[in-house]
Structure 1
Amino acid sequence: MYRLIKALSFVCILLFADFAEAQVCTGNFGQPLINQTFGQGNNTDNWYGPLAQYAPGATTFTTFMGPPGPNPSALAPNQSGLVKTPATPGNPYPIYWQPHADHTGDTNGLMLLIDGIATKTVFFEQKMDDLCPNTLLRLSIWVLNTNSATANAQPPNMILKVIDPNGNLLGNASTGNVTADGRWHQYTLDFSNGNNSTVTLQLINDTQTNSGNDFALDDITVQACGPAITPYFNLNNSSLNMCEGNTNSFTVNANILPEYTNPVYQWQENKGNGWVDITGLTTKQATINFSNQPAGTYQYRLITAINGNIDKVNCRAVSDPITVTVNPLPVARAENFGPFCNGSTIQLFASGGTSYLWSGPNGYNSTAQNPTIINATKAMEGEYTVQVTANGCTSPASIQVLVHDPIIITTNIQTATICEGKSIQLAASGGTEYLWQPATGLSDPQSPDPVASPTETTTYTVRVTNNGCSETAQITVHVNKNAKADAGVDQKIVNGQKITLNGKVSDDVTYLWTPSDYLDDPTKLNPVASPPHDITYTLQATSNLGCSSSSDEVNITVYPKVVIPNTFSPNGDNVNDTWNIPATASFHNPVVKIMNRYGNLVYQSTGPYKPWDGKMNGKDLPPAVYYYSVYLNEDFQTYTGWLMLVR
């Protein structure tokens, strides 16, 4: 018997499904006549109720668990409740009650959470009133399987059923198994309400178990099939963009398929406060006066119905809106940071838009937002205007550009020549501030007329400033060097030797050595000198450019010729009785040493030389060959050799 009943039920479902599918909408389904969203929650509560407060017209035949909700925080079979998410705090079965927002993604939007049972019963009804008779309607519901896929629980399955006030069936359809994929699923049923203005939606549980069968409902809507209305503006546009200050009107029209029999029309406008009929606009094509509207968004739609039904909300077709956007005029700004200096770069700035068009003196134009104009001249002075555009709307802004007169610098000289050690007055005019560079040799580098005393030829650059603008000029001061003489370092020679003087002078001078004694040519810079005695030579240099002369001296020390005898006879005959070296008298601290053939020191004289008398410690030394070393000073090498003592 159970199998027979189940088979008959299946056949009935197929028949009703075929009935529903036979209802074909030749236009389209318009705005929802009924929209059951189950209301809005808040940021604190978890459970909400009663149901009638949040879902007018809805009735649940389950046990409704209003606030504060079930304890523990989960539903038992055949219980329901309004929640923001199936995963309510404290839920002991998280694998069965997954977190999810309502169908629209609103974290505070409510849904009806249901724990289904195995018995095929009506668990939910939604009454729908004020429908237009003899209308093809579409019922839509959204269903969420609240279990996770890992729970492997029996999915919910339900039948959508619509009845008239007498309980007669108007249409039904099965959802089939609602997949546990964490997504909302939409199910629809198309039906005709016949002569009924009131119908009732019934949701029937069709899952044969209590295990699993957990789901949520949201956004139950009913839409009427009516003509497909495609409104448009003139030129077949679906939207218009205008600017503040617009003085034009526009035409609205619509394509309608199929038309109602004996149709009437009404255009509506929404300026942000809801839809309002536009007085007098009751034709399919109409002209809307739209001059000087403030910035904002304006929507227009067409309503059509059979004559006599235009005021019945559920008996008319409503188009989607078409939009007019009035864009504000951009707040155009133009500026610069002048005045500008002659030859500098003029920088203009603009803001307030997305594109820019500049114009100015001498036919100037630019599309840059912040254009630059190089090499500013007085001719570039004047008013510059920029057209600033944003969202197709344009506003102008203007700015004055000032260019200072060029600075004209006057200097007292451009070039001058001075002798080394002398000074010269520099002077510049044409501004209010001055800066000379380099500062080397200047009395005051910030003075308009400093005194310059350079030691080398120098080009001075003066920066002259007036009204923040600067120009430069140059003065070159050539420095002629004073005559410089360098006679070289003092030198020493032995009598009879020659030496070349190492004279040096600066450029462009005349020179002469004095005295000319013992010089081969006193007019040569490096003459050869052969003095027989000590002498001082002076190199005199005279500038050929009229600058100072100079002189320098060099001392030549002439040592006597060193002669060392190799024999003497200290026998008391007053002839060659001592060993004497006459040249030692010209040296301050000569050191003379005499050794015997064994290397023993037998005589030494340190300081003024004392001739050797052939004795050692007052006793005569025997005739023999002796060996000497003679040190005169650092200019001479030590003399060594032998001598013969004869008796």
Structure 2
Amino acid sequence: MFSAFFCSRIQAQLGFCSGNSGSPIFTETFGTGVTNSSLPFGTTTYSFSNGEPNDGFYTVSSNTAYFDWFNISDHTLNDTNGKMLIVNSDFTAGEFYRTGINGLCENTTYEFSSWVLNLSPLNGFCGSAVIPINVRFEIWDNTNTNLLASGSTGNIISTSSPVWNQYALVFQTLPGQTSVILKMINNGVGGCGNDLAIDDIVFKSCGDRIIVEDPSNNNSASVCSLDTPYSTILTAIPDNTVFSSHFYQWQNSLDGIIWTDIIGETNQSISISGVSNTTYYRTKVSESMINVNNALCNTLSDEFIITVNNPTTPTFNPVSDICDGDALAALPTMSIEGITGTWSPTLDNTTTTTYTFVPDSNQCAINQTMTIVVNPIVTPTFIQVFAICEGDSLAALPTMSNEGIIGVWSPSLNNAATTTYTFVPNSGQCAVNQTMTIAVNPILTPTFNQISPICFGAIITPLPTVSNEGITGSWSPSLDNTITTTYTFVPNSGVCVTNQTMTVEVNPIVTPTFNQVPPICNGDFLGPLPTTSLEGIMGVWSPMLDNTVTTTYTFTPNFGECAINQIMTIVVNPNSSPTFNLVSAICNGDILSPLPTSSIEGITGTWSPVLDNTVTTTYTFTPDPGFCPLPVNLTIEVFENPVFTLQDEYFLCFDINGVLVIPTTLNTGLNTADYNFTWLLNGVAISGANQGSYNPIEEGRYEVIVQNSMTLCETRMLTDVVVLYEPDFEANVITDAFSENQTIEVTVFNIGDFEYQLDGGPWQDAPIFINVTLGEHLVTVRDKRGCIEASETIVVMDYPKYFTPNGDGFHDTWNITAPRNPLDYLALSRVRIFDRYGKLLKEIDPTGNGWNGIYNGSLMHSDDYWFVVEYIEPRTGEPKTFRSNFSLKR
């Protein structure tokens, strides 16, 4: 069965006490229990049913599991098996509940309230024909002749889930009157529907709205226990909406629950002193002195809370140990808790020191200390490693010093050369680097002066038995002058010494050969002839080279070369010069015909570089092999075409009235002194347009022809001029106020390729903005190609889902937001705020500052709160009511 239900507090045409109330003087919760019960005799004109109540019947029960009704628990908070009055309305309107209220005070204002619920579900058995409930409340004097107050709930229609609604009447007792009669009347008719539950009938005294303030107009105070005992003066300030006179009795409390009268404090103001703990203050108020202590007649002011805070011990992240002389960062002047202050003494990076943090004044905090340890610097020592021979094994160096310092050595060990190694201590150790040099003695290799090569059969001089370094030894095998042989020297003895070899080369007798030098032209460069033959024979040539006449040259091998002489003849041919016709100058890009590959004299050859019709170039003719002419140069001049640029598009920008507001200029950047200009629109020359720039006044395809007045070289260029208009648009909120997904739609009335922006955010192609937050927004539209932007301000009617009344200037109050054009929708709205139990906390003016999270002078807890707003729907102009909840966060 459905057991959860929603409570809201509404007023309809009835009314709640607008000021402060007293404690409840009458409460009817209809008791508890699991069995149905009847009302006392005379309380109702309806008949009691111990089962399902039919039309004109009632029951008092802890559940409503009858017919197709909602099955709910009663409204009374924290009830176990709590009961409620369940009424199945009769077919004719009439009274269904009456009770007397006694012990009232005469000439006193009271508030009656009761909770009512429609039991018939929206989609139940009755369907769309379900009859709403409608209850009239009446307060009569005890003679049942004078009607003191009355009001009707109006039609309370069926809902898809159960909803408790609270209604109230404010009335005043007559002179000499101490009791009244409460009547509840069914305004509707019986049938399918008009089934209701009643619970929690309460009567309270009603008085002025009374706030309590100190001399600084504060309604609460927060002090540090270091600054106690605390003293101040509190004043009760009534709004004079109910009482014509005021009498007071001040009270205090240590927990806000149990209150004690303060003897003798009956004035409008009270002077308090000696406050050392959190204490609550309020005053009882009545219109006569005799009633000030009568709970049936007095009301209670808002509470003034003096909160005494214990001092904070500031904490800080500890500072790690440092080494003597290391940099020491300044200590933070704000603790982890946000306490600001100063440290002493001055930081010292040479010795361990305890520093004291003293909080700044006006902070509820005590001093704190911190000790920073400074460790001394250590120089690590190691046992020296003995010298080794090159290539010998070298053991790894120790990674811990004699003093226990751990670190690493660099560079890597090298057993091939004497090296100095550096020990770098690991971080976190207060130690300096240390070095160690390990000597590596080289392996001595005996050296000898090389024996020069000999020719086959020549005498070989005996090899020396003592090296250049003085190392003695012997050679093997025996010397041989007929073949190249490698001999080995073996030292007699010694440390770090190796054998040595020497190869004595025995060369055969060779006939040197050379590559033939081809014929040259008279005067051509003739490079030196090679002084080494193809076989590696070295020597000299004679006579000297001559590049003017054919000559035979002789190669003579150097002394010691095992070779004989050789000759070479170099042919020298006479020269001739080719000629060509000149080529006329061209404009950049003109066709350039290929140059002739045969001269006027019939000499063939090739031109270089490749022909270029874009720049003046000198070309060189190189004759084919077999000819001996001199190279010939030919220069072809290329005149530059006029150089300028135009954009692909230009724009003429007109405002919404068709006035040109942003003209444009087509500018070549060239002058008429050097160039001739012709401007065309859509292929037709523009009369008089002969300058280097042109200001168009209509759209179309423009062309400019620019001709160099000296070379007659010309350049043509096209561009388009496009007409753009300022966006003519309107922006509308296309969803109802308070919708989950608020949406703004933009409609543009002129033609163009537009993009859209909300509140200076990114531009987008779509004219729809979804999930728009509450409040004022700036919608901007522009043509993607530039020109004029247009903007319009639009307001989304909605409410914030939370607020944080902590005094930081952000979200400190809660209120709805609504547009003020074409109507002031805020001024036409009405907002009431309730707690989760349906208690009215505040009715706020939507045009004002909103709710600050305070009720009766107390800070309300972090929780969800409900509200009801009556407003005009901006989209349709239709009056509506909206109910929802928001969160208070502290």
1:269 is matched with: 252
Query: Are positions 1:115 and 2:95 aligned together?
Result: no
Matched AA of 2:289? N
1:580 is matched with: none
1:360 is matched with: 343
Deviates more, 1:98-107 or 1:429-438: 98-107
- The secondary structure found in structure 1 opposite 2:291 is coil
Q: Which residue of 56, 60, 65 maps to 1:81? A: 60
> In structure 1, what is the Cα distance between the partners aligned to 2:437 and 2:233?
82
- The secondary structure found in structure 2 opposite 1:265 is strand
- The secondary structure found in structure 1 opposite 2:374 is coil
- The secondary structure found in structure 2 opposite 1:279 is coil
> In structure 2, what is the Cα distance between the partners aligned to 1:285 and 1:340?
61
User: How is 1:157-168 mapped onto 2 (pairs within 5 angstroms)?
Assistant: 157-168=134-145
Q: Kindly indicate which of the two structures has a greater share of residues assigned to strand.
A: 1
Offset of residue 266 of structure 1 = 1.0
1:538 is matched with: 488
User: How is 1:199-598 mapped onto 2 (pairs within 5 angstroms)?
Assistant: 199-245=180-226, 246-258=228-240, 263-272=246-255, 273-293=257-277, 296=278, 298-333=280-315, 336=318, 339-342=321-324, 343=326, 354-357=337-340, 359-363=342-346, 377-379=349-351, 381-385=353-357, 387=359, 393-409=364-380, 420=390, 431-435=403-407, 437=409, 454-462=415-423, 469-477=430-438, 479=440, 481-484=442-445, 496=456, 531-532=481-482, 535-538=485-488, 548-553=496-501
- The secondary structure found in structure 1 opposite 2:216 is helix
Offset of residue 257 of structure 1 = 3.5
Residues 338 and 213 (structure 1 numbering): CA distance in 2 closer, same or farther, change over 3 Å? same
Offset of residue 208 of structure 1 = 1.7
- Which protein, 1 or 2, shows the higher relative CO under an 8 Å CA cutoff with sep ≥ 6? 1
1:184 is matched with: 164
Offset of residue 470 of structure 1 = 4.3
Offset of residue 535 of structure 1 = 4.8
- The secondary structure found in structure 1 opposite 2:296 is helix
Residues 130 and 101 (structure 1 numbering): CA distance in 2 closer, same or farther, change over 3 Å? closer
Do the aligned partners of 1:247 and 1:291 also contact (CA within 8 Å) in 2?
yes
Residues 235 and 436 (structure 1 numbering): CA distance in 2 closer, same or farther, change over 3 Å? closer
Query: Are positions 1:149 and 2:119 aligned together?
Result: no
Identity %: 23
Residues 99 and 540 (structure 1 numbering): CA distance in 2 closer, same or farther, change over 3 Å? farther
Residues 61 and 330 (structure 1 numbering): CA distance in 2 closer, same or farther, change over 3 Å? farther
Offset of residue 277 of structure 1 = 0.8
Structure 2 unaligned residues grouped into runs of 5+: 1-11, 459-467, 510-890
CA deviations on 1:157-197 (whole Å, 9 max, x unpaired) are 22212222222233322222222234333333333321321
TM-score by length of 1: 0.58
> In structure 1, what is the Cα distance between the partners aligned to 2:473 and 2:230?
109
Do the aligned partners of 2:378 and 2:431 also contact (CA within 8 Å) in 1?
yes
Do the aligned partners of 2:334 and 2:341 also contact (CA within 8 Å) in 1?
no
Offset of residue 310 of structure 1 = 1.4
> In structure 2, what is the Cα distance between the partners aligned to 1:486 and 1:102?
116
Q: Which residue of 22, 34, 40 maps to 2:25? A: 34
Offset of residue 457 of structure 1 = 4.6
- The secondary structure found in structure 2 opposite 1:235 is coil
Offset of residue 252 of structure 1 = 0.6
> In structure 2, what is the Cα distance between the partners aligned to 1:556 and 1:101?
124
Offset of residue 57 of structure 1 = 12
Offset of residue 308 of structure 1 = 1.8
2:713 is matched with: none
Offset of residue 292 of structure 1 = 2.1
Offset of residue 235 of structure 1 = 0.5
2:75 is matched with: 102
Residues 183 and 279 (structure 1 numbering): CA distance in 2 closer, same or farther, change over 3 Å? same
1:140 is matched with: 113
Offset of residue 249 of structure 1 = 1.0
Residues 138 and 535 (structure 1 numbering): CA distance in 2 closer, same or farther, change over 3 Å? closer
Do the aligned partners of 1:461 and 1:475 also contact (CA within 8 Å) in 2?
yes
Offset of residue 454 of structure 1 = 4.1
Do the aligned partners of 2:131 and 2:193 also contact (CA within 8 Å) in 1?
yes
Matched AA of 1:327? N
Do the aligned partners of 1:29 and 1:138 also contact (CA within 8 Å) in 2?
no
Offset of residue 238 of structure 1 = 0.9
> In structure 1, what is the Cα distance between the partners aligned to 2:376 and 2:144?
99
Offset of residue 265 of structure 1 = 1.4
Offset of residue 471 of structure 1 = 3.9
Residues 352 and 204 (structure 1 numbering): CA distance in 2 closer, same or farther, change over 3 Å? farther
Structure 1 unaligned residues grouped into runs of 5+: 1-16, 365-375, 442-452, 488-492, 499-507, 520-529, 562-647
Matched AA of 1:186? Q
Offset of residue 198 of structure 1 = 1.1
Matched AA of 2:61? L
> In structure 1, what is the Cα distance between the partners aligned to 2:469 and 2:95?
131
Do the aligned partners of 1:484 and 1:549 also contact (CA within 8 Å) in 2?
yes
Do the aligned partners of 1:486 and 1:551 also contact (CA within 8 Å) in 2?
no
> In structure 2, what is the Cα distance between the partners aligned to 1:133 and 1:416?
117
Query: Are positions 1:175 and 2:125 aligned together?
Result: no
In the comparison of the two structures, how many residue pairs are matched?
Answer: 469
Matched AA of 2:60? G
Offset of residue 359 of structure 1 = 3.9
Matched AA of 2:482? P
Do the aligned partners of 1:409 and 1:473 also contact (CA within 8 Å) in 2?
yes
- The secondary structure found in structure 2 opposite 1:76 is coil
Q: What is the root-mean-square deviation of aligned Cα atoms in Å? A: 5.3
CA deviations on 1:241-261 (whole Å, 9 max, x unpaired) are 122342221211022243956
Residues 178 and 405 (structure 1 numbering): CA distance in 2 closer, same or farther, change over 3 Å? same
Which protein has the larger Cα radius of gyration, Structure 1 or Structure 2?
Answer: 1
> In structure 2, what is the Cα distance between the partners aligned to 1:470 and 1:51?
94
Offset of residue 203 of structure 1 = 0.8
> In structure 1, what is the Cα distance between the partners aligned to 2:156 and 2:396?
104
Do the aligned partners of 1:483 and 1:541 also contact (CA within 8 Å) in 2?
no
Residues 512 and 412 (structure 1 numbering): CA distance in 2 closer, same or farther, change over 3 Å? same
